[in-house]
Amino acid sequence: MTGVKEVLRRPLGHFTQRSLAGLALLLAAGVAFALLLVLVRVEWTPLYDVDHGIAAWLNDQIAPIGPLVTVLTAITDLGGRPVIMWLVSVAVVGLLIRKQGRLAVYVIVTGLGALILDPSLKTLVDRLRPEVDVPIGTYAGQSFPSGHALGSMVAYGAILLVFLPAIAPRWRKLAIALVGVVVFLIGFTRVALGVHFVSDVLGAWLLGAAWLGITAYAFRLWRLERGRPVAALTEGLEPEAAHEVAPAPDEGKLLPHARAGIAELVVGWVLIFGVLYGFGTYVSYHADGTFFATLDTAVPNWFDEHRTPWRDDFSYWWSKVGDTHAILLIGVVFCPLVLAVWRRWRPVLFVALTMFGELSLFLASAAAVDRPRPPIENLDGPMPTSSFPSGHIAATLCIWVAVAVVIFPRTDRWWRWVFVALAVVMPVGVAVSRMYRGMHHPTDFMGAIMLTALWIGLLYWVVRPNADVYEGNQPSIESEDVDTLDDELAKASRAE
């Protein structure tokens, strides 16, 4: 970790110096922002009237429409700190794995700048958020500038500049337009949801554009000092890195026989649903007097008799391991890392289809079987779905088994067995917690195992997620070379 410590002691070396050297450009590009800031700070009457008038009008139009509020909230989350931090972190780690330290430093510096500018300017201006008749959301802190609008402009813009060379020239204008639309929509939602004024969003866009411009200018100066040609920004920051920043540069067809594969998956899905429906209907309504009925009665009653406050708390947190947020977090961390290391989309497709199939099979089976919960106190209260099969257990099984299937043949290091262990320990822990909390019968757990085994088995046969390994594909970075990521970051911050 010596390299990272050196970077922290000398904050990114000459790169930061180049950014300061471009202060004149920043001031020129930020004239409009500075003017707007002054007008907001002195509460200029015409601007005040426009801001408050638009905020009130939008609130009257949008607040009564619940589905529209839900959509706007989902869009605004794309500019929230969790999404932005995930996006920047994944980009930086991926670039370091691909040995693109300079681009990683650019993303870090640009993101840190936005992270510093937003709260400092909010404190300086100290503007209150809008007060509307029907508050849709509550947000703490000051209003100017909009952090979501600034963060999305800087993060999405910086990542676009970094990865633009990997996009075919004919698609670059479309990519730029799509990023522009996303940034615009995020800014619009901040006003539409009544948490920012129009001038808050406009100020954030102006500031974000100015900061992006100065950091891009500094990067171009950096390249010139090293004797590298400086291309137009429409070609990205480092055009010669196109192969390295491309997600899967050497992958031919994602699936050799795509149409046949889709047909096989559709037919397999229907057959698996039939198996789940048949087993679920049997254990739910026709298994009286059998081993399954005895098991489904004895186990919930035993857990009910052994409940204690600390076990209730422990089971609650372990149960959370299998909820939607936890499973999604595992997926959005694992998939980009696999893509960065092995340069293939097929393992990512395998994991994505695993989770899509699990969710669709669970929802369809739960609706068709419609099994009641165990006849004991349900500690999680009423649930929107029925008992069979367990969605928490099935999701935990699917994600960890899929991760183990992808990882195990791709390394011979000892830690591959950790993922095999997790594929057993995590689902079992979730299963015990869900049954302890009175949310599922043991045969619901069996249904989750059945779903996982059949669906992942089908996907493995059709998608063949590890075909590239058997064909000789090597990772971009070996497991024993992980420490070199620090060195890539340190080397990129030093003058050559």
Q: Please, which pLDDT band fits residue 28 given cuts at 50, 70 and 90?
A: low
What's the whole-number mean pLDDT along residues 269-288? 93
- Per-residue model confidence as pLDDT tens digits over 43-66: 788 888 888 888 888 887 887 777
Q: Are the C-beta atoms of residues 153 and 204 closer than 8 Å to each other?
A: yes
Q: Are 65 and 137 in contact (CB under 8 A)?
A: no
Write down the domain spans for the chain: 2-245, 258-472
pLDDT digits (tens, 9 = 90+) for 70-115: 888 888 888 888 899 999 999 999 899 888 888 998 999 998 988 8
Q: Which residues, 6 or more positions from 404, have their beta carbon under 8 angstroms from its beta carbon?
A: 419, 420, 422, 423
Lowest mean pLDDT segment, chosen from 64-73, 108-117, 268-277, 403-412: 64-73
Please tell me the predicted confidence (pLDDT) of residue 494: 55
Token readout for 250 is 């050497």
| pLDDT for the residue numbered 491 | 56
Q: Which two tokens stand for residue 303?
A: 């857990």
The count of residues in the chain is 496
**Looking at the predicted structure, is the pLDDT value of residue 171 above 50?**
yes
What is the secondary structure of 301-356 as a DSSP string?
HHHHHT--HHHHHHHHHHHHTTSHHHHHHHHHHHHHHHHHHH--SHHHHHHHHHHH
Q: Quick check: 216 and 39 in contact, CB under 8 A?
A: no
Shortest CA distance to 332 belongs to which of 89, 98, 71? 89
Structure tokens at 54: 């638009």
d(CA 295, CA 442): 7
As a whole-number percent, the residues of the chain with pLDDT over 90 amount to: 35
In this predicted structure, what is the pLDDT of residue 1?
46
Angstrom distance (rounded) from CA 390 to CA 371: 11
Average confidence score pLDDT of the chain: 84
Q: Give tens-digit pLDDT for 293-346.
A: 999 999 999 998 888 999 889 989 988 888 888 888 899 899 999 988 888 899
Tell me: cis bond preceding 475? Omega within 30 of 0 counts. Answer: no
Over residues 260-284, mean pLDDT? 94
| CA distance linking residue 216 with residue 237, whole number of Å | 7
Q: Which amino acid is located at 326 in the chain?
A: A
Residues 107, 109, 113, 116, CA torsion sign = positive
Locate the DSSP E strands across 133-183: none
Cα–Cα dist 324/33, whole Å: 41
Is residue 15 scored above 80 in pLDDT? Answer: no
